[in-house]
Amino acid sequence: MNKLNIKRRIVLTGGPGGGKTTALDLFQRELQGKIASVPEAATMIFSGGIERSMLAEVTCAQQIAIFNLQRHLEDIQRKTNPDCLILCDRGCLDGLAYWPRSEEDFFKTMNTSLSYELSRYDAVIFFETAAKSGQEIKSNNPVRNESAEKAIVLDQKLQQIWSQHSNFNLVSSSESFIKKIMFGITTIDNVIDKI
């Protein structure tokens, strides 16, 4: 049986400027028709007219919307593409790194748990931010506005969260973006072969 016909879900995540979206785009072209991708919910919301906020109440409301949109997008892709591997550009747990209150409050508000959210994915591929190796984190994404320092902090928070997954795969920051992307694509390919 072709492993791509088994219902699987992989999350690609990491700090801002890590290259995950680029890797996802390239991999989607390589396996066209065999995978379905889930776009980044935060980008959809922030590019749709909602402005980022520093106010805790507003940030919480935004993260609730992102969490729910992410969950629904994943479920839509699964139902629409039942035989495809689902590659998610970020996952539901990403919001925890942006949550201005406690971890306990996040899970209570979202009516979920860490173990349940981790179980939704067969594997995690984490693209470390380029800022960790002193590179610029340029992006074609206009809603990404993090500084290098903020990107590193978010990367550390996200890595701490996602590294608790039993099938966590790290794509480290590299001096060569092309080498990093190629390593990331190889990692995705290896993960698919193992699940």
Q: Which of 117-131, 141-155, 166-180 has the lowest mean pLDDT?
A: 141-155
Distance CA 164, CA 93 (A): 11
The pTM assigned to this predicted structure is 0.86
pLDDT value at position 63? Answer: 97
- Per the CB < 8 A criterion, the answer to whether 123 and 3 are in contact is no
pLDDT band at 195 (very low <50, low <70, confident <90, very high): low
- Per the CB < 8 A criterion, the answer to whether 143 and 189 are in contact is no
Average pLDDT, the chain: 85
pLDDT value at position 144? Answer: 58
- Per the CB < 8 A criterion, the answer to whether 151 and 137 are in contact is yes
Q: Percent of the chain scored above 90 by pLDDT?
A: 51
Determine the Cα angle at 14 with ends 13 and 15, to 5°.
145
Q: Decide if pLDDT at 96 tops 70.
A: yes
Distance CA 138, CA 148 (A): 10
Distance CA 149, CA 153 (A): 6
pLDDT value at position 80? Answer: 94
Distance CA 144, CA 141 (A): 6
Write out pLDDT tens, residues 43-58. 999 998 888 888 999 9
Write out pLDDT tens, residues 1-20. 344 434 589 999 998 878 88
pLDDT band at 120 (very low <50, low <70, confident <90, very high): very high
Write out pLDDT tens, residues 58-88. 999 999 999 999 999 999 999 999 888 899 9
Strand ranges for 58-133 from DSSP E: 85-89, 123-127
137 or 171, which is more confident?
A: 171
pLDDT value at position 122? Answer: 92
Q: Decide if pLDDT at 107 tops 90.
A: yes
By DSSP bridging, strand 9-13 and strand 168-171 are unpaired
Q: Decide if pLDDT at 139 tops 70.
A: no
